[in-house]
Structure 1
Amino acid sequence: MKMRKLTGLCLAILLIAGAATGCKKESTPTAALNEKIDPVVSAPQSNSGGFSNGPYGVVTGSARVYLTDGKYQLALQDFTTSNGPDLKVYISMEQNPVHFVNLGSLKSTGGNQVYDIPAGVNAKDYGYALIFCQQYSHLFGYTKLTF
Protein backbone atom coordinates (compact mmCIF):
# COMPACT_ATOMS: atom_id res chain seq x y z
CA MET A 1 0.00 0.00 0.00
CA LYS A 2 2.82 2.42 0.86
CA MET A 3 4.49 1.64 -2.49
CA ARG A 4 1.32 2.64 -4.41
CA LYS A 5 1.10 5.95 -2.53
CA LEU A 6 4.77 6.63 -3.19
CA THR A 7 4.42 5.75 -6.88
CA GLY A 8 1.33 7.97 -7.16
CA LEU A 9 3.13 10.84 -5.42
CA CYS A 10 6.15 10.50 -7.73
CA LEU A 11 3.88 10.48 -10.77
CA ALA A 12 2.05 13.59 -9.54
CA ILE A 13 5.35 15.42 -8.95
CA LEU A 14 6.57 14.51 -12.45
CA LEU A 15 3.34 15.71 -14.06
CA ILE A 16 3.42 19.02 -12.19
CA ALA A 17 7.10 19.54 -13.01
CA GLY A 18 6.49 18.74 -16.69
CA ALA A 19 3.54 21.13 -16.88
CA ALA A 20 5.50 23.91 -15.20
CA THR A 21 8.48 23.61 -17.54
CA GLY A 22 6.48 22.94 -20.71
CA CYS A 23 4.10 25.88 -20.39
CA LYS A 24 6.20 28.85 -21.39
CA LYS A 25 4.43 31.98 -22.55
CA GLU A 26 7.24 33.07 -24.84
CA SER A 27 9.24 30.38 -26.52
CA THR A 28 9.81 31.79 -30.02
CA PRO A 29 13.02 33.75 -30.73
CA THR A 30 12.46 37.50 -30.98
CA ALA A 31 15.47 38.68 -33.05
CA ALA A 32 14.15 40.17 -36.30
CA LEU A 33 15.17 38.20 -39.40
CA ASN A 34 15.77 39.47 -42.91
CA GLU A 35 15.57 36.39 -45.13
CA LYS A 36 14.86 37.13 -48.78
CA ILE A 37 13.68 35.31 -51.88
CA ASP A 38 16.02 35.86 -54.85
CA PRO A 39 13.85 37.67 -57.41
CA VAL A 40 16.15 36.62 -60.26
CA VAL A 41 15.42 32.89 -59.87
CA SER A 42 12.01 33.08 -58.15
CA ALA A 43 8.57 33.74 -59.56
CA PRO A 44 5.72 34.83 -57.30
CA GLN A 45 2.84 32.36 -57.41
CA SER A 46 0.43 34.03 -54.99
CA ASN A 47 -0.50 37.22 -53.23
CA SER A 48 -2.01 37.77 -49.83
CA GLY A 49 -3.66 40.55 -48.00
CA GLY A 50 -2.39 41.35 -44.58
CA PHE A 51 -2.55 38.82 -41.79
CA SER A 52 -5.71 38.81 -39.70
CA ASN A 53 -5.54 38.18 -35.99
CA GLY A 54 -6.78 34.90 -34.62
CA PRO A 55 -8.39 34.61 -31.20
CA TYR A 56 -5.03 34.08 -29.47
CA GLY A 57 -2.54 36.46 -31.05
CA VAL A 58 -1.75 39.63 -32.93
CA VAL A 59 -0.12 39.10 -36.34
CA THR A 60 0.85 41.66 -39.00
CA GLY A 61 2.56 41.43 -42.36
CA SER A 62 1.86 39.38 -45.46
CA ALA A 63 2.68 36.00 -47.00
CA ARG A 64 3.46 35.04 -50.57
CA VAL A 65 4.25 31.72 -52.25
CA TYR A 66 7.18 31.66 -54.68
CA LEU A 67 8.43 29.03 -57.10
CA THR A 68 12.23 28.84 -56.86
CA ASP A 69 14.19 26.32 -58.92
CA GLY A 70 11.18 24.00 -59.12
CA LYS A 71 10.29 24.15 -55.42
CA TYR A 72 7.65 26.18 -53.61
CA GLN A 73 8.57 28.50 -50.75
CA LEU A 74 6.42 30.60 -48.42
CA ALA A 75 7.80 34.05 -47.61
CA LEU A 76 6.52 36.03 -44.62
CA GLN A 77 7.17 39.71 -45.30
CA ASP A 78 7.21 42.67 -42.88
CA PHE A 79 6.01 40.10 -40.36
CA THR A 80 5.38 40.44 -36.62
CA THR A 81 3.45 38.30 -34.16
CA SER A 82 2.84 38.16 -30.45
CA ASN A 83 4.98 35.49 -28.83
CA GLY A 84 3.74 32.13 -27.69
CA PRO A 85 4.74 28.53 -27.13
CA ASP A 86 5.25 26.06 -29.96
CA LEU A 87 4.37 28.46 -32.79
CA LYS A 88 4.31 26.81 -36.21
CA VAL A 89 3.87 28.01 -39.78
CA TYR A 90 1.20 26.10 -41.69
CA ILE A 91 -0.27 26.26 -45.14
CA SER A 92 -3.85 25.09 -44.88
CA MET A 93 -6.92 24.43 -46.97
CA GLU A 94 -9.02 26.11 -44.28
CA GLN A 95 -8.68 29.08 -41.94
CA ASN A 96 -8.76 26.69 -38.98
CA PRO A 97 -6.35 23.88 -39.83
CA VAL A 98 -7.89 20.54 -40.68
CA HIS A 99 -6.06 19.80 -43.94
CA PHE A 100 -2.69 21.47 -43.59
CA VAL A 101 1.06 21.14 -44.07
CA ASN A 102 3.34 22.07 -41.17
CA LEU A 103 6.27 24.07 -42.58
CA GLY A 104 8.10 24.04 -39.25
CA SER A 105 8.61 26.15 -36.18
CA LEU A 106 8.28 29.90 -36.50
CA LYS A 107 11.86 31.20 -36.77
CA SER A 108 11.22 34.55 -35.10
CA THR A 109 8.41 36.82 -33.94
CA GLY A 110 9.47 39.42 -36.48
CA GLY A 111 11.07 40.18 -39.81
CA ASN A 112 11.18 38.59 -43.24
CA GLN A 113 11.23 34.79 -43.18
CA VAL A 114 11.27 32.02 -45.79
CA TYR A 115 9.92 28.47 -45.35
CA ASP A 116 10.34 25.58 -47.78
CA ILE A 117 7.17 23.76 -48.81
CA PRO A 118 7.91 20.02 -49.00
CA ALA A 119 8.41 18.41 -52.40
CA GLY A 120 5.26 16.79 -53.70
CA VAL A 121 2.97 19.37 -52.07
CA ASN A 122 1.05 21.47 -54.57
CA ALA A 123 0.99 24.85 -52.81
CA LYS A 124 -1.97 25.93 -54.96
CA ASP A 125 -4.15 23.44 -53.06
CA TYR A 126 -3.68 25.45 -49.86
CA GLY A 127 -5.46 28.79 -49.65
CA TYR A 128 -4.22 30.01 -46.26
CA ALA A 129 -0.99 30.68 -44.39
CA LEU A 130 -1.37 30.30 -40.63
CA ILE A 131 0.59 31.04 -37.47
CA PHE A 132 -0.56 28.33 -35.09
CA CYS A 133 0.31 27.23 -31.56
CA GLN A 134 0.49 23.47 -32.03
CA GLN A 135 0.80 22.65 -28.32
CA TYR A 136 -2.54 24.25 -27.39
CA SER A 137 -4.26 24.26 -30.84
CA HIS A 138 -4.53 28.06 -30.83
CA LEU A 139 -4.73 30.14 -33.99
CA PHE A 140 -2.58 33.27 -33.67
CA GLY A 141 -3.21 34.63 -37.18
CA TYR A 142 -3.99 33.80 -40.80
CA THR A 143 -3.93 35.24 -44.30
CA LYS A 144 -5.66 34.19 -47.49
CA LEU A 145 -3.34 33.19 -50.34
CA THR A 146 -4.63 34.13 -53.78
CA PHE A 147 -3.17 32.15 -56.68
Structure 2
Amino acid sequence: MKAPNLLKISIIVLLTCTILAGCKKESTPTATLNERIDASQSKPASNSGDFSNGPYGTVTGTARVFLTGGKYKLVLEGFSTSNGPDLKVYISQEQNPVHFVNLGSLKSTSGNQVYDIPSEANVKDYAYALIYCQQYHHLFGYTQLTF
Protein backbone atom coordinates (compact mmCIF):
# COMPACT_ATOMS: atom_id res chain seq x y z
CA MET A 1 0.00 0.00 0.00
CA LYS A 2 1.25 3.46 -0.77
CA ALA A 3 2.05 5.82 2.10
CA PRO A 4 -0.61 8.45 1.12
CA ASN A 5 -3.37 5.79 1.23
CA LEU A 6 -2.14 4.54 4.61
CA LEU A 7 -2.16 8.11 5.90
CA LYS A 8 -5.74 8.64 4.69
CA ILE A 9 -6.89 5.40 6.31
CA SER A 10 -5.13 6.32 9.57
CA ILE A 11 -6.79 9.74 9.63
CA ILE A 12 -10.23 8.25 8.95
CA VAL A 13 -9.78 5.65 11.73
CA LEU A 14 -8.56 8.33 14.16
CA LEU A 15 -11.51 10.64 13.37
CA THR A 16 -14.01 7.79 13.69
CA CYS A 17 -12.61 6.77 17.09
CA THR A 18 -12.71 10.39 18.29
CA ILE A 19 -16.32 10.84 17.20
CA LEU A 20 -17.47 7.57 18.78
CA ALA A 21 -15.66 8.32 22.03
CA GLY A 22 -17.33 11.75 22.18
CA CYS A 23 -20.86 10.35 21.84
CA LYS A 24 -21.97 9.53 25.34
CA LYS A 25 -25.37 7.91 25.52
CA GLU A 26 -26.01 8.51 29.21
CA SER A 27 -24.52 11.78 30.36
CA THR A 28 -26.72 12.93 33.24
CA PRO A 29 -25.43 12.37 36.81
CA THR A 30 -27.18 9.54 38.67
CA ALA A 31 -26.53 10.42 42.34
CA THR A 32 -29.86 10.83 44.17
CA LEU A 33 -30.43 14.45 45.22
CA ASN A 34 -32.49 15.78 48.10
CA GLU A 35 -32.79 19.51 47.44
CA ARG A 36 -35.56 21.39 49.27
CA ILE A 37 -36.99 24.86 49.50
CA ASP A 38 -37.83 26.52 52.80
CA ALA A 39 -41.54 25.69 53.11
CA SER A 40 -42.05 28.29 55.85
CA GLN A 41 -41.01 31.07 53.45
CA SER A 42 -42.62 29.69 50.29
CA LYS A 43 -46.08 29.43 48.88
CA PRO A 44 -47.27 27.19 46.05
CA ALA A 45 -47.84 29.13 42.82
CA SER A 46 -49.30 26.12 41.01
CA ASN A 47 -50.89 22.78 41.65
CA SER A 48 -48.57 19.81 41.49
CA GLY A 49 -48.49 17.80 38.30
CA ASP A 50 -47.42 14.18 37.90
CA PHE A 51 -44.97 13.46 35.10
CA SER A 52 -46.01 11.37 32.11
CA ASN A 53 -43.61 9.55 29.83
CA GLY A 54 -42.66 11.09 26.53
CA PRO A 55 -41.87 9.03 23.44
CA TYR A 56 -38.16 8.79 24.33
CA GLY A 57 -37.97 8.22 28.07
CA THR A 58 -39.53 7.17 31.33
CA VAL A 59 -40.19 9.93 33.88
CA THR A 60 -41.95 9.72 37.26
CA GLY A 61 -42.49 12.19 40.09
CA THR A 62 -44.22 15.52 40.51
CA ALA A 63 -43.45 19.13 39.62
CA ARG A 64 -44.70 22.29 41.26
CA VAL A 65 -43.90 25.98 41.02
CA PHE A 66 -43.28 27.85 44.28
CA LEU A 67 -42.87 31.53 45.04
CA THR A 68 -40.08 31.90 47.58
CA GLY A 69 -38.29 35.10 48.51
CA GLY A 70 -39.98 36.91 45.63
CA LYS A 71 -38.63 34.41 43.07
CA TYR A 72 -40.30 31.51 41.33
CA LYS A 73 -38.77 28.04 41.53
CA LEU A 74 -39.66 24.76 39.83
CA VAL A 75 -39.47 21.89 42.32
CA LEU A 76 -39.25 18.24 41.23
CA GLU A 77 -40.22 15.81 43.99
CA GLY A 78 -39.93 12.04 44.06
CA PHE A 79 -38.37 12.45 40.66
CA SER A 80 -36.83 9.74 38.48
CA THR A 81 -36.03 9.53 34.77
CA SER A 82 -34.25 7.27 32.36
CA ASN A 83 -30.82 8.61 31.50
CA GLY A 84 -29.89 10.27 28.27
CA PRO A 85 -27.60 12.82 26.69
CA ASP A 86 -28.00 16.56 27.18
CA LEU A 87 -31.14 16.38 29.34
CA LYS A 88 -32.59 19.80 30.18
CA VAL A 89 -35.44 21.07 32.34
CA TYR A 90 -37.84 23.38 30.51
CA ILE A 91 -41.01 25.23 31.33
CA SER A 92 -43.00 25.46 28.13
CA GLN A 93 -46.21 26.84 26.69
CA GLU A 94 -46.69 23.56 24.82
CA GLN A 95 -46.08 19.89 25.49
CA ASN A 96 -43.61 19.82 22.59
CA PRO A 97 -41.44 22.88 23.20
CA VAL A 98 -41.72 25.77 20.80
CA HIS A 99 -42.11 28.62 23.30
CA PHE A 100 -40.09 27.60 26.34
CA VAL A 101 -37.57 28.65 28.96
CA ASN A 102 -34.54 26.43 29.52
CA LEU A 103 -33.98 26.17 33.30
CA GLY A 104 -30.68 24.36 32.85
CA SER A 105 -29.25 20.89 32.70
CA LEU A 106 -30.99 18.16 34.66
CA LYS A 107 -29.02 17.85 37.89
CA SER A 108 -29.60 14.12 38.38
CA THR A 109 -31.73 11.26 37.12
CA SER A 110 -33.32 10.89 40.57
CA GLY A 111 -34.30 12.73 43.70
CA ASN A 112 -35.74 16.07 44.75
CA GLN A 113 -34.45 19.01 42.70
CA VAL A 114 -34.99 22.78 42.63
CA TYR A 115 -34.58 25.01 39.56
CA ASP A 116 -34.70 28.82 39.49
CA ILE A 117 -37.13 30.37 37.02
CA PRO A 118 -35.74 33.59 35.50
CA SER A 119 -37.54 36.71 36.70
CA GLU A 120 -38.27 37.81 33.11
CA ALA A 121 -40.42 34.69 32.54
CA ASN A 122 -44.12 35.13 33.35
CA VAL A 123 -44.74 31.71 34.93
CA LYS A 124 -48.46 31.86 34.22
CA ASP A 125 -47.63 31.70 30.48
CA TYR A 126 -45.94 28.28 30.84
CA ALA A 127 -48.33 25.39 31.33
CA TYR A 128 -45.81 22.51 31.19
CA ALA A 129 -42.63 21.30 32.83
CA LEU A 130 -40.54 19.13 30.52
CA ILE A 131 -37.53 16.85 30.64
CA TYR A 132 -36.05 17.27 27.20
CA CYS A 133 -32.99 16.04 25.31
CA GLN A 134 -31.82 19.25 23.69
CA GLN A 135 -29.17 17.61 21.51
CA TYR A 136 -31.58 15.27 19.70
CA HIS A 137 -34.86 17.16 20.29
CA HIS A 138 -36.44 14.24 22.19
CA LEU A 139 -39.13 14.62 24.83
CA PHE A 140 -38.40 12.32 27.78
CA GLY A 141 -41.36 13.40 29.94
CA TYR A 142 -43.78 16.19 30.78
CA THR A 143 -46.34 17.38 33.28
CA GLN A 144 -49.00 20.04 33.12
CA LEU A 145 -48.82 22.87 35.65
CA THR A 146 -52.15 24.44 36.63
CA PHE A 147 -51.96 28.02 37.89
| TM-score, length of structure 2 as denominator length | 0.89
Q: Which moved more, 1:52-61 or 1:40-49?
A: 40-49
User: How many pairs align?
Assistant: 144
Residue 17 of structure 1 and its aligned partner are, at CA, apart by 4.1
Q: Deviation digits for residues 94-134 of structure 1, max 9, x if unmatched?
A: 00000000000000000000000112111111000000001
Residue 10 of structure 1 and its aligned partner are, at CA, apart by 4.5
* Structure 2 CA distance for partners of 1:91 and 1:12, relative to 1, 3 Å: farther
Tell me the residue number matched to 1:57. 57
* Structure 2 CA distance for partners of 1:20 and 1:37, relative to 1, 3 Å: same
Tell me the residue number matched to 1:40. 40
Q: Deviation digits for residues 67-117 of structure 1, max 9, x if unmatched?
A: 111111000000000000100000000000000000000000000000001
What secondary structure is seen at the aligned counterpart in 1 of 2:62?
Answer: strand
Q: Give matches, 1:126-145, under 5 Å.
A: 126-145=126-145
What secondary structure is seen at the aligned counterpart in 2 of 1:84?
Answer: coil
* Structure 2 CA distance for partners of 1:19 and 1:138, relative to 1, 3 Å: farther
What percentage of aligned pairs have identical amino acids?
A: 72
Larger Rg: 2
Tell me the residue number matched to 1:66. 66
Query: Conserved in 1, the CA contact under 8 Å of 2:72 and 2:117?
Result: yes
* Structure 2 CA distance for partners of 1:98 and 1:38, relative to 1, 3 Å: same
Q: Give matches, 1:69-108, under 5 Å.
A: 69-108=69-108
Any stretches of 5+ residues in structure 2 without a counterpart?
A: none
State the Cα RMSD in Å. 2.0
Residue 40 of structure 1 and its aligned partner are, at CA, apart by 1.0
Any stretches of 5+ residues in structure 1 without a counterpart?
A: none
Query: Conserved in 1, the CA contact under 8 Å of 2:52 and 2:141?
Result: yes
Residue 49 of structure 1 and its aligned partner are, at CA, apart by 2.7
Q: Which amino acid in structure 1 is aligned with residue 137 of structure 2?
A: S
Residue 18 of structure 1 and its aligned partner are, at CA, apart by 4.8
What secondary structure is seen at the aligned counterpart in 2 of 1:107?
Answer: coil
